[in-house]
């Protein structure tokens, strides 16, 4: 054994015991301080329309509620709520487009659609766009 262990009285067994106690104390502290496993998607806020669906990931998102209008192909009226569901971020007409990324121009290219999906599957929300699965996007009508 190195001299340091003999001079301080710490044996390898005592050192392992202290390490286990410290790690156990850290776990207990995290539990007592409210450390909790994050739920995903978040719980549905009280008062949020039942038709609103979560769009986002573990790092955040929004609740989205879109309803088809009879104006034209791909026309919707959408309300977007913040994560808590307590305030409306946007409520406006939206129009559906297909979207693809242009590698040369380094920007998205939007095209008119010739069909609509039977159901909307929301992916995310930002910058006046509701991104859907299947290379589709709802863009806010100005």
- Say whether pLDDT at 73 is over 50: yes
What lies within 8 Å, CB to CB, of 56 at 6+ separation is: 41, 62, 83, 124, 125
Contact yes or no for 22/31 (Cβ under 8 A) = no
Domain coordinates of the chain in residue numbers? Answer: 3-32, 53-140
The pTM assigned to this predicted structure is 0.70
What pLDDT, in 10s, does the model give residues 37-63? 556 678 889 999 999 999 998 888 999
What pLDDT, in 10s, does the model give residues 11-46? 877 778 788 888 877 776 666 666 555 566 788 899
């Amino acid at each position: 054994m190195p001299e340091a262990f003999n001079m301080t009285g710490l044996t390898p067994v005592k050192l392992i015991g202290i390490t286990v106690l410290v790690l156990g104390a850290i776990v207990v502290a995290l539990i007592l301080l409210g450390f909790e496993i994050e739920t995903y998607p978040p719980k549905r806020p009280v008062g949020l329309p039942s038709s609103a669906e979560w769009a986002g990931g573990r790092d955040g998102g929004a609740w989205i509620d879109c309803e088809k209008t009879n104006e034209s192909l791909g026309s919707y009226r959408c309300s977007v709520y913040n994560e808590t569901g307590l305030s409306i971020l946007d409520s406006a007409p939206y129009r559906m487009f297909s979207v693809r990324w242009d590698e040369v121009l380094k920007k998205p290219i939007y095209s008119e659609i010739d069909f609509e999906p039977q159901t909307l599957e929301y992916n995310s929300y930002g910058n006046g766009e509701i991104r859907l699965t299947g290379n589709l996007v709802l863009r806010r009508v100005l």
